[in-house]
Structures are given as C-alpha cells and as structure tokens.
Amino acid sequence: MKKTFISALLFALISAPSFASDDGFYAGATLGRSNSDIPPSPGVVTTNSTDTVFGILGGYQYTENWGIETFYSSAGNWSAVDSSGNVASGNAKVFGISAVGTKPLTDTFALYGKLGLANTMTNANVTGTTGISATRNALTYGLGGRYNVDTHVSIRFGWDCYAAAVVDVNGKTHNFNSNDFSLGAVFKF
C-alpha cells in the first residue's frame, strides 16, 4: 500500500501543472503530539499515552471549498502496567481518506474540517507473550487552520481524531480514540 501511495504521489508531482488558483494537487508532512484515551481495565494502569507523531498527506482541492485527501499518520505509543507487574506497550498507525471542507477567511488564512474513513492498526507487546495486534476501521474527523505563505506553500495546524483498538492477553478487544495535534507544511502543485 505504501508503494502504491508513493507511486501515485510521484505521478501527481510529475504530471500536474502549477495552479495559481485554489484548485489542484497538494502534498505535505505533519509533526505533532498524540493523546490516546485507552480505557482502564481492572488492575491495569496506563503509564504513558502521549507521544510525538508524524504524518504525510496528499490530496486534490476541487474548488475553493472542497477537496479530498489521503493520509498516513503514526498515532502514538502507549504503555501500561497490570497488578502483576506485566508491562504492555504498543503503537498505532493510521491510513485513511477524508473529504475536506475549507472556509477561506482572508486571502492568506482558511479554516478546514475533515470527515472520512480510517484504518488504524495497533501493535502491542506484553511481558512474556508474543505481539498482539488489532485493526479498527471507523470514521475519522478533524479541524484546523491553514496559513498560505504564498500560492504554493501553506502552514497547517490541526486536530485529528482516529478510532483504534487494542486486544488484551485474554483476547478481549478494547476500543479507544487517539487525538493528534499537529503542525505541518503543505505544497501545492
């Protein structure tokens, strides 16, 4: 899937002309913080659920107000300890696609909202066991702002919410959300 996404992005970079208007292809990268609200389990204490995250994105802006975007994001690391001293640690990765609505407020600043579908893959390791993984497909959404440095470069800040899941050593699935707050650069082609 990564090779397909990278190939499509490279094709878009090579074949797309520059656009002076609001429509066109764009790609970017983000860096931020994630906070996961892993639900408590009897005898388990979450010791860390905040982490640095990064992401890449690519999309097409159809009009000044509407576009579509694909993305990949790490959704953070977490760790927990149960009453027996077993340590569990894990991380999550998210792939998805969203419709993006944009509301320009000035020539250089706009607000945006996103709604789409995401596939979140969580991997976990527990002391004395092999890795446990879980996948959750669910709605994703987010809000943010964009500042246009010029016609081809924007600074973007935002909040995204991803649904995730983790499976405990007893095979029980626990659903949770990961909230990512990020700052990034977006380049229009």
Measured distance CA(40)–CA(72) in Å, rounded: 27
Distance, first Cα to last Cα, the chain: 23
* Pick among 2.40.160.20, 3.30.1330.60, 1.20.58.1030, 3.30.70.120: CATH of 2-188: 2.40.160.20
Q: In which element (H, E) is residue 120 found?
A: strand 109-126
- Indicate the domain borders of the chain: 2-188
Q: In which element (H, E) is residue 4 found?
A: helix 2-15
Measured distance CA(98)–CA(101) in Å, rounded: 10
To 10 degrees, the CA torsion angle through 47, 140, 135, 172?
60
Measured distance CA(107)–CA(97) in Å, rounded: 27
Contact status, residue 148 vs residue 164, Cβ threshold 8 Å: no
SS3 9: helix
Tokens of 143: 């809000």
Residue 127: how many CB atoms within 10 A of its CB? 13
pLDDT value, residue 18:
37
Contact status, residue 117 vs residue 97, Cβ threshold 8 Å: yes
pLDDT value, residue 75:
77
Give this prediction's pTM.
Answer: 0.76
pLDDT value, residue 74:
86
Measured distance CA(67)–CA(13) in Å, rounded: 17
Residue 176: how many CB atoms within 10 A of its CB? 20
- The segments of the chain whose pLDDT lies below 50 read 5-6, 8-20
